[in-house]
């Protein structure tokens, strides 16, 4: 094997020799061709073999290298074979002139001797990276080449350990680079087929044959019973045939005449005619047919037993494959191979079914012959009986007729039983086959989920999301697949990506209405896209220049593009027609902007000038020069009266839009500025050094100090003034900042190369970005599945409640009092503002007169409101300190309250009288809850202890000890057997109510957990914390099921809606909100609607066994339905308060890997956020995530009382 193949141009031979010597001294094996002449055919074959045998292609990049035909051929051949490049930049050149396959690797700069040591260190580090994976890639290239050159001889295929290693590598390739090439994949598949051609194929063929025979047998038996029923009207025809002396009938004779009336009709046939028919069929053929029928039944019985054994073998195979998925990567490869075998046998099944149809026809013929023989025999017997009866009395005749009828009925009953048994056997086999197919689809889903995890670990988010969606397309996806999609769908991923450009992006723009996106690329095209669908609408090509800056007119009808040749193009957005060319600049046009009224256009250029143009006529209005270096950007103020420019000289300048006069100059010459923009107030500006300036004084008033503040290339401020978006040099992330706090709000991830252009839409939600990865993307800042917000006018939410039917939402708003909303419409029902004391706790209850709300106040008092009228019912002085929690009993008869002085009290709801004061320690109570049966009260304390009280006697029953800090939230499970608690110690704990044992500890939060709630069916736990996450946990296993993270999630409390479809969140600063909790089918639909799900390539469809495949011309299949059809949601007025028919999460016994917690009195299992993407990862199961981009959903209420 060769470690490094060195490709260079003759101009770089000296540097290549130096590199070769240094690498050789370090034990690295190199291959270099020192001859400057072009290679002949034999030499080229040798070079190709060396390229394939090399682990790395060290490409010395220079202008001469990109022009060298030899180097270009080497690079192209290596790229076609997915070789790993180590590009070393020797001299500067245009980035676009570097081969596309090379650009995806990190560039190493070695322009002079001072950088050589650093470059060498990077080269060696690249060479040594992922060596086992790269070596296997090279080995398979070499061996597959030998296999092809040998004419694909079987002796060159992989076997045993080598094949297992190749299969494991093939699985790993989903999340690694470089990828396998088609020849390697074909080589592995051929080796697999050779290995599996024997026993497995025989087993499946036998199984399918047995099934076919059983189906044929069932069909034949059904014909035996169905034929006489269908042919009863033919009895008269049989009578006529016998009367005229025909030898036999073509219908089923005596079986057709199964009724007494038919028997009498037959007996009335002239005896002479019957005797003429008698000799046509003898008893011997009937016996033979009966023997054949018995043989058929015995054979069918044996085949049924064999089929049962096959089903057992298949079940064992599935169990083995399940263990493979749960095991290590090698076993996973075996599982994947099994899936391949399943797919391969689909074709075999088609052939087998064809054979079964032929067998059916044959057996049908046998059945007809048997029926005919039986008919003739019965006719013969009937003829003899008729002759005998002709001389007997009438009574004897009737007795014989009755006996014959009973025999016929008994025969038919026996046949029916046999047919029913055969049908039952066939149905059982069909059920077994359906179960096997279901298990196969589950296995495929598990493999795809694991592949998605590997892609995620490799930071290939587009692929990871696409695989996770495919893993969840089955009817009941396994837990692992649901968990993977639940994690990925709510990451900060793009809402849309626009595919089509063939080179790097220089500029992007978005129309003010957010419906159109424009992008300019080094491929000399400007394209207009539909923001909603990602579809390309228009393409404008300019062979003479590249659009370095773009801008939509305010009405969205005109698109302006500034090019590198100094020309500004104006295009019609709807038609793509060129409207005008504005000429005059003598350098690159680096910035353009329309005035707010759309009548003028301002432009900036590397020629250091700024120009104002009349859009209608194309005339130049004025030109100014002021910057001492290239002008980087230009922009109108919100009112259109001023123009802001930034320059490479580090200065910001304000110009009069009317006259071009220079109004202000500010900045520092030490900072080279690349962009600047006005704040929405028009009084402040922010530049690419992330400094905020007051334009009236020219003073810097603020600066961003922490985060990715260096190297900002492009920026924009949202029109509502909440956010700043930036793109930094050599950074593939899009950064969004909170302007008020000057802190990083979120990072949008998805680009694979440096982001160079960003911009907000007028709605302040959508962000468009362009990067060197050729694919512009659209992001949504408010990207949460929130279906309803309840307005609080920036008042902090301290506590909230949801009525038993889910129709009403209440919030305690501190000094702003309390409010109640209709959850269906979001409309405010009433509000109460107690000027004497703040409302700090709230709960819903009921009285005979209707629903009531109990509020706990800062001064320790309690106030009860009638929800229908909004009027206070009573106000009692309940405590001596702040009320910290209130709760009603299930029947609404009593209420409990806890206070900061440790007092816990029980109240009669009807009149507000005190029933009981509980004797507990003088430690601040932080929360209370009443059990579903109304017998117990749980109270939490600031020290972390939880106490259980008997509501009738007031006695303390037990103490739950385990938390290290204050408990913030409590909830009983619906069956009352489990208590869950959330604490400032960043843990969630589950307790056995009966004996006080700690059942499990759920960890993973980075701060206090502020809210916790059980799902209505008790299968899931919902939690929220100060780290900005909402999490769903499997209550039985304690495993993390779904994670939703956003900077907007500053939670004070939460509760699950009664219908199980929403979570009501108390967002401290933005008010209550309903969060949609999707079931698996809905989550797939939501993801496809609100995330960019990359279409899988033909190669990926083959690699991951995803149907449908591409056609013979490598055309991708037409898009399939987004997900299985969903039953339309009930209207807001009729939503049932019971649990949703389609659960968010249904554990599947066969696929759930995490065991149920079985704690003892001395051990407390700890549940962490699992599973982590890699075995060595110990932090959160996913990298830190903040906001997610998605489009706002149509509001869907929680339900109705």
pLDDT digits (tens, 9 = 90+) for 826-885: 889 888 886 678 889 999 998 777 888 999 999 999 999 998 888 889 999 989 999 999
The rounded distance, in Å, linking the Cα atoms of 523 and 100 is 12
How far from the centroid of its chain's Cα atoms is residue 388's Cα? 83
- From 152, 280, 314, 297, select the one nearest 217 (Cα to Cα): 297
- From 189, 137, 182, 202, select the one nearest 163 (Cα to Cα): 189
264: its two tokens: 């009498």
Q: At CA 387, angle to CA 383 and CA 393, rounded to 5? A: 130
The rounded distance, in Å, linking the Cα atoms of 248 and 280 is 7
The rounded distance, in Å, linking the Cα atoms of 319 and 323 is 6
* CB neighbour list of residue 429: distance below 8 Å, 6 or more residues apart: 210, 211, 214, 215, 304, 307, 311
3-state secondary structure of 789: strand
- From 565, 708, 560, 570, select the one nearest 636 (Cα to Cα): 560
DSSP label at residue 11: G
- The backbone region for 576, taken as left when phi is positive above 0, alpha when psi lies in -120 to 50, beta otherwise, is left
- Quick one: pLDDT at residue 204? 57
- From 1177, 1151, 1139, 1181, select the one nearest 1002 (Cα to Cα): 1181
pLDDT < 70 stretches in the chain? 112-115, 174-175, 198-398, 401, 834-835, 1119-1201
The rounded distance, in Å, linking the Cα atoms of 759 and 764 is 10
503: its two tokens: 């080179």
Sheet holding 936-941, edge to edge: 925-930, 936-941, 946-950, 956-960
- From 55, 69, 61, 68, select the one nearest 87 (Cα to Cα): 61
**Residue 959 to residues 889, 933, 944, 1080, Cα–Cα distance (Å):** 21, 20, 10, 39
DSSP label at residue 208: H
Rounded to the nearest 10 degrees, the angle between the axes of helix 160-172 and helix 131-149 is 120
Three-state SS sequence of 585-634:
CCCCEEEEEECCCCCEEEEEECCCEEEEEECCCCCEEEEEECCCCCEEEE
Question: How many beta carbons lie within 10 A of that of residue 475, not counting itself?
Answer: 10
Count helices and strands (H / E) in the chain. Answer: 21, 62
Rounded to the nearest 10 degrees, the angle between the axes of helix 394-457 and helix 160-172 is 70
The rounded distance, in Å, linking the Cα atoms of 1011 and 969 is 5
Question: How many beta carbons lie within 10 A of that of residue 15, not counting itself?
Answer: 16
Tokens 């322009």 sit at which residue?
111
Is 2.160.20.10 the CATH number for 496-590? no
Q: Note whether 484 and 461 are within 8 A (CB).
A: no
* CB neighbour list of residue 438: distance below 8 Å, 6 or more residues apart: none
Q: Note whether 419 and 221 are within 8 A (CB).
A: yes
Domain ranges for the chain, please list them. Answer: 2-129, 199-457, 496-590
Measured in residues, the chain has a length of 1201
**Residue 729 to residues 96, 732, 744, Cα–Cα distance (Å):** 17, 8, 17
Question: How many beta carbons lie within 10 A of that of residue 349, not counting itself?
Answer: 17
893: its two tokens: 């008869």
Give the pLDDT confidence of 708-723 residue by residue, as tens digits.
888 899 999 999 999 9
Predicted TM-score (pTM) of this structure: 0.61
3-state secondary structure of 526: strand
Sheet holding 872-876, edge to edge: 839-847, 850-857, 862-866, 872-876
72: its two tokens: 């270009």
What would the CATH number be for the domain defined by 2-129? Answer: 3.40.50.10140
Question: DSSP labels for 945-984?
Answer: -EEEEETTT--EEEEE---SS-EEEEEE-TTSSEEEEEET
Q: State the alpha helices, DSSP H only, in 232-328.
A: 235-243, 253-256, 260-267, 271-278, 283-326
**Residue 868 to residues 264, 592, 846, Cα–Cα distance (Å):** 83, 58, 11
- From 1197, 30, 1132, 1184, select the one nearest 492 (Cα to Cα): 1184
H-helix or E-strand spanning residue 2 = strand 2-7
The rounded distance, in Å, linking the Cα atoms of 49 and 34 is 17
The rounded distance, in Å, linking the Cα atoms of 391 and 122 is 116
Question: DSSP labels for 64-81?
Answer: HHHH-HHHHHHHHHHHHT
């Amino acid at each position: 094997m060769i470690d490094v193949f060195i490709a260079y141009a003759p101009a770089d031979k000296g540097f290549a020799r130096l590199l070769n010597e240094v690498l050789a001294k370090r034990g690295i094996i190199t291959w270099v061709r020192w001859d400057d002449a072009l290679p002949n055919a034999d030499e080229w074959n040798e070079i190709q073999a060396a390229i394939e045998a090399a682990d790395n292609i060290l490409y010395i990049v220079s202008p001469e290298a990109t022009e060298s035909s030899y180097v270009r051929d080497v690079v192209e051949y290596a790229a076609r074979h997915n070789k790993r490049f180590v590009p070393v930049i020797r001299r500067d050149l245009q980035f676009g002139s570097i081969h596309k396959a090379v650009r995806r690797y990190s560039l190493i700069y070695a322009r002079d001797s001072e950088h050589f040591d650093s470059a060498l260190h990077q080269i060696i580090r690249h060479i040594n990276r992922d060596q086992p994976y790269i070596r296997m890639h090279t080995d398979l290239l070499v061996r597959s080449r030998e296999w092809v050159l040998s004419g694909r001889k079987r002796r060159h295929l992989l076997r045993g350990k080598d094949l297992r290693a190749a299969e494991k590598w093939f699985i790993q390739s989903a999340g690694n680079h470089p990828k396998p090439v088609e020849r390697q994949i074909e080589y592995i598949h051929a080796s697999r087929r050779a290995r599996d051609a024997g026993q497995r194929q025989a087993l499946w063929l036998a199984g399918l044959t047995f099934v076919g025979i059983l189906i044929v047998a069932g069909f034949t038996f059904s014909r035996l019973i169905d034929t006489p029923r269908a042919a009863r009207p033919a009895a008269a025809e049989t009578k006529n045939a016998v009367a005229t002396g025909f030898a036999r009938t073509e219908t089923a004779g005596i079986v057709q005449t199964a009724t007494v009336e038919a028997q009498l009709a037959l007996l009335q046939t002239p005896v002479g005619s019957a005797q003429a028919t008698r000799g046509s069929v003898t008893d011997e053929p009937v016996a033979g047919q009966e023997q054949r029928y018995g043989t058929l039944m015995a054979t069918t019985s044996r085949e049924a037993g064999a089929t049962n054994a096959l089903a057992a073998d298949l079940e064992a195979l599935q169990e083995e494959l399940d263990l493979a998925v749960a095991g290590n990567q090698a076993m996973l490869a075996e599982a994947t191979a099994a899936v391949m075998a399943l797919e391969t046998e689909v074709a075999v099944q088609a052939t087998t079914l064809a054979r079964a149809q032929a067998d059916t026809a044959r057996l049908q013929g046998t059945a007809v012959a048997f029926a005919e023989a039986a008919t003739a025999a019965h006719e013969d017997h009937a003829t003899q009986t008729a002759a005998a009866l002709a001389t007997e009395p009438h009574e004897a005749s009737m007795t014989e007729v009755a006996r014959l009828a009973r025999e016929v009925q008994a025969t038919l009953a026996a046949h029916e039983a046999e047919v029913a048994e055969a049908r039952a056997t066939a149905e059982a086999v069909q059920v077994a086959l359906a179960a096997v197919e279901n298990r196969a689809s589950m296995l495929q889903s598990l493999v795809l989920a694991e592949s998605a995890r590997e892609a995620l670990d490799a930071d290939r988010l587009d692929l990871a999301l696409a695989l996770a969606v495919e893993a969840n397309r089955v009817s009941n996806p396994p837990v692992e697949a649901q968990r993977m999609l639940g994690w990925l769908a709510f990451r900060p991923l793009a809402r849309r990506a626009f595919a089509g450009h063939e080179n790097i992006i220089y500029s992007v723009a978005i129309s003010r209405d957010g419906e159109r996106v424009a992008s300019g690329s080094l491929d000399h095209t400007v394209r207009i896209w539909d923001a909603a669908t990602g579809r390309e609408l228009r393409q404008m090509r300019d062979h003479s220049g590249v659009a370095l800056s773009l801008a939509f007119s305010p009405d969205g009808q005109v698109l302006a593009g500034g090019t590198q040749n100094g020309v500004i193009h104006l295009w019609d957005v709807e038609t793509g027609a060129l409207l005008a060319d504005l000429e005059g600049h003598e350098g690159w046009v680096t910035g353009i902007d329309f005035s707010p009224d759309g009548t003028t256009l301002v432009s900036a250029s590397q020629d250091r000038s700024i120009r104002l143009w009349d859009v209608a006529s194309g005339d130049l209005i004025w030109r100014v020069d002021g910057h001492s270096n290239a002008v980087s950007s230009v922009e109108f103020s919100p009112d259109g009266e001023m123009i802001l420019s930034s320059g490479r000289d580090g200065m910001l300048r304000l110009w009069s839009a009317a006259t071009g006069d220079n109004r202000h100059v500010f900045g520092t010459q030490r900072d080279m500025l690349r962009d600047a923009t006005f704040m929405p107030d028009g009084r402040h500006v922010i530049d690419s050094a992330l400094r905020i300036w007051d334009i009236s004084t020219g003073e810097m008033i603020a600066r961003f100090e922490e985060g990715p503040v260096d190297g900002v290339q492009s920026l924009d401020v949202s029109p509502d003034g909440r956010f700043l978006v930036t793109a930094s040099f050599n950074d593939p992330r899009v950064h969004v900042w909170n302007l008020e706090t000057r802190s990083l709000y979120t990072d949008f991830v998805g680009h694979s190369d440096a982001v160079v252009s960003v911009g907000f839409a007028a709605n302040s939600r959508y962000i468009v970005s362009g990067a060197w990865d050729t694919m512009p993307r659209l992001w949504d800042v408010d990207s949460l599945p929130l279906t309803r917000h309840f307005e609080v006018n920036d008042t902090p939410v301290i506590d909230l409640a949801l009525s038993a039917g889910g129709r009403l939402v209440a919030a305690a708003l501190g000094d702003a009092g309390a409010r109640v909303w209709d959850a269906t419409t979001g409309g405010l029902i009433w509000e109460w503002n107690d000027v004497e004391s703040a409302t700090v706790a709230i709960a819903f209850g009921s009285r005979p007169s209707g629903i009531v709300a109990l509020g706990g106040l800062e001064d320790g008092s309690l106030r009860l409101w009638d929800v229908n009228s909004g009027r206070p019912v009573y106000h009692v002085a309940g405590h001596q300190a702040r009320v910290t929690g209130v709760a009603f009993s299930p029947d609404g008869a009593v209420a409990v309250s806890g206070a900061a002085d440790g007092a816990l009290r029980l109240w009669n709801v009807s009149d507000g009288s005190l029933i009981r004061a509980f004797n507990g320690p003088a430690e601040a109570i932080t929360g209370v809850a009443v059990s579903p049966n109304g017998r117990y009260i749980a109270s939490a304390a600031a020290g972390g202890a939880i106490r259980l009280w008997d509501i009738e006697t007031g006695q303390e029953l037990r103490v739950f000890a385990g938390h290290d800090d204050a408990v913030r939230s409590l909830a009983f499970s619906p069956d009352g057997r489990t208590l869950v608690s959330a604490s400032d110690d960043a843990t969630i704990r589950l307790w056995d109510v009966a004996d006080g044992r700690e059942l499990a500890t759920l960890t993973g939060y980075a701060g206090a957990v502020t809210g916790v709630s059980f799902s209505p069916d008790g299968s899931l736990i919902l939690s929220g914390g100060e780290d900005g996450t909402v999490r769903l946990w499997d209550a039985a296993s304690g495993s993390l099921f779904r994670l939703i993270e956003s900077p907007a999630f500053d939670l004070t409390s939460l509760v699950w809606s009664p219908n199980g479809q929403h979570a009501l969140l108390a967002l401290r600063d933005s008010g209550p909100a309903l969060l949609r909790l999707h079931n698996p089918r809905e989550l797939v639909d939501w993801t496809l609607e609100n995330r960019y799900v990359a279409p899988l390539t033909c190669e990926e469809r083959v690699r991951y066994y995803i149907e449908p495949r591409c056609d013979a011309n490598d055309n991708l299949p037409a898009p399939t339905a987004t997900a299985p059809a969903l039953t339309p949601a009930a209207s807001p007025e009729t939503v049932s308060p019971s649990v949703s028919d389609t659960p968010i999460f249904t554990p599947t016994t066969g696929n759930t890997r995490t065991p149920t917690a079985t704690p003892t009195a001395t051990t407390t299992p700890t549940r962490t956020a699992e599973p982590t993407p890699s075995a060595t990862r110990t932090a959160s199961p996913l990298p830190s995530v903040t906001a997610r981009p998605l489009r706002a959903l149509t509001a869907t209420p929680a339900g109705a009382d």
